[in-house]
Amino acid sequence: MIEFHNPQGERAVPADPYTLGIDLAAKPLAVVGLLANGFPDSENFLRHVGTELERLIDGIEVRVWNKGNASIAAPDGMLDEIQAQCDAVIAAYGH
């Protein structure tokens, strides 16, 4: 007999649903920021993602930032700039 083990542990606190979001189809002229993590080619990858987003969703504009170093948090000045210029942001992680 095969027995399956679920590797998820029990939570000490209940899951908190993620409720932030934007309906890009409903918001004309939305600006979407893409934040590269600094790993090699992360910015190139996000530029391709941005090109496809602009092709698929009419009226959006994509802007790309690169924090330049995967081992640090994005600098406060960069985060302020992104927040001031964008309606939504997608951050890339991993490599």
From first to last of its 95 residues, the chain has per-residue pLDDT tens of 888 888 888 888 888 888 888 887 788 899 999 999 999 899 999 999 999 999 998 889 999 999 999 999 999 999 999 999 999 999 987 66
Residue 85 lies in a domain: yes
pLDDT for the residue 95: 61
Does 15 map to a domain?
Answer: no
In a domain, 35, yes or no: yes
Is 54 among the domain residues?
Answer: yes
What letter represents residue 85's amino acid? Answer: Q
Range of the domain at 68: 31-91
Residue 92's nearest CA partner among 53, 46, 61 is 46
Considering the entire predicted model, what is its pTM?
A: 0.77
Any domain includes 83: yes
Give me Rg for the CA atoms of the chain: 18
Per-residue model confidence (pLDDT) at position 43: 94
Into how many domains does the chain fold?
1
Q: How far apart are CA 51 and CA 20, in angstroms?
A: 23
Q: Are 29 and 59 in contact, with CB atoms under 8 Å apart?
A: yes
CB 33 within 8 A of CB 65: yes
Q: What is the reported pLDDT for 94?
A: 65
Q: Is residue 10 part of a domain?
A: no
Length of the chain: 95
HSE-up of residue 53 (Cα within 13 Å, Cβ side): 22
Assess if residue 4 is contained within a domain.
no
